[in-house]
Amino acid sequence: MRREANYVEFDDSEELLLMTLAEVEGDGHKGVWFLDSGCSNHMTGNKGWFCEINESFRHTVKLGNNSKLAVMGKGNIRFEVEGMTQLISDVCFVPELSSNLLSIGQLQEKGVDIRIKGGMCKVYHPQRGLIMNTRMTVNGLFIVFAFRKPLSSKCMKEEQLRENTKKRWRLTAKNNKKNNLQQLSQILKILMDQILIQKFLKEETEEDPRGCMTMRVEQNFRKKK
């Protein structure tokens, strides 16, 4: 397995080390995550890992050779490691990235304790205890083998619930728009009636400025008799 190290940056003031691996044996980058002490953000090139993603998020990762990788989203992933389900938040989606990277620094910011000793890396959650345990490879890497949760997982149910909620909101907004148009039509009709009445009253007053509408109606009634 060939390893390449490149300095990358999100902006002109921040520079970090991104470990990009040319190829991972077996299923590519679909099940292997690398614990990276040099990368300041979790990253993956596989959109399928996300159970929730903000696809409007945009950023650029600049490599040491001045080439750039586009960040096309940011969100949460949920996977299983050694029988335990883990939720990793604030993961950047970088389509051109060939590896999955877990930032040790970002994990520590979340209160996770990382202990590296004797060629072993142990990850401790403040409430759940030991959640990851991996041995250093011959290349000096710490690899975590993870499995995506099935479609029936809680994460997917939450995503489906959010989508259904969005659909209900859109339907409600559509119905409200229809009702508002109907109400507006009724208001316009009432206003038109009011305008016609005012016009009629004005004409009656101009014909007989000394009289009133009641007198005019009474006179017309008597004439008919």
Specify the 3-state DSSP secondary structure of 134. strand
- Which amino acid type is present at position 185? S
- 30 has a pLDDT exceeding 70: no
Give the CA angle between residues 126, 130, 136 to the nearest 5°. 125
Q: Give me the residues paired with residue 35 across strands.
A: 102, 142
- 205 has a pLDDT exceeding 50: yes
- Which amino acid type is present at position 60? T
Mean pLDDT of the chain: 75
**Mean pLDDT, residues 4-26 taken together:** 39
Indicate yes or no: pTM above 0.85. Answer: no
Q: What is the pLDDT of residues 126-158, one digit of tens each?
A: 999 999 999 998 888 999 999 886 655 555 566
Q: What is the pLDDT of residues 143-200, one digit of tens each?
A: 999 988 665 555 556 666 666 777 777 777 777 777 777 888 888 888 887 777 777 6
Give the CA angle between residues 79, 135, 76 to the nearest 5°. 20
Per-residue pLDDT, 125: 92
**Closest residue by Cα to residue 145 from 224, 58, 82:** 82
Measured CA to CA in angstroms, residue 45 lies from 31, 170, 185 at distances of: 12, 32, 52
